[in-house]
Amino acid sequence: MKIPKAVRVLNYPYTVAFKEGLIDPDKRGAIGQTNERELTINLDSTQHPAAIGSTFIHELLHAVDWHYFEQTLFSDDEREKKICLLAEGLCQVLSDMGVTFET
C-alpha cells in the first residue's frame, strides 16, 4: 500500500508528507509527527523502509486519539505508550494480511 498524501480522521482532512530531520518537542530526533491543529502528519523520509508502515499507523493513531479521546484522563506518557503498542500490533495484523507500506 502506498502511503497516501491525504487521509481523513472524522471530518478532518490531514495532509501526509515525507520530510527529513524532524524534531520532537523534547528536541530529540523524531521519525514521525502529527500536528492536530494544522492537520498534518509528517514522516521522516530517512527512516528504514520497514518502519514506514508502523510510523504511519502510529501518527494516524495520534490523530484519532486527539479527535476522539483528547479529554481522557490519561497522561501524555500513558497515551504515547498505548499508541506505540496499538501501532505495532495493528501493523503486524496488516502485515500478516499481506499489506505492505511504500513511500
pTM of the full structure: 0.81
CATH number of 6-96: 1.10.10
Query: Which residue from 12, 68, 6, 71 is spatially nearest to 41, judged by alpha carbons?
Result: 6
pLDDT at 1: 82
Domain ranges of the chain: 6-96
Neighbours of 91 (CB within 10 A): 21
Distance of CA 34 to the CA centre of its chain: 7
In the prediction, which pLDDT does 77 show? 84
Residue ranges in the chain modelled with pLDDT below 50 = none
Q: How many CB atoms lie within 10 A of CB 33?
A: 18
In this prediction, residue 71 carries a pLDDT of 61
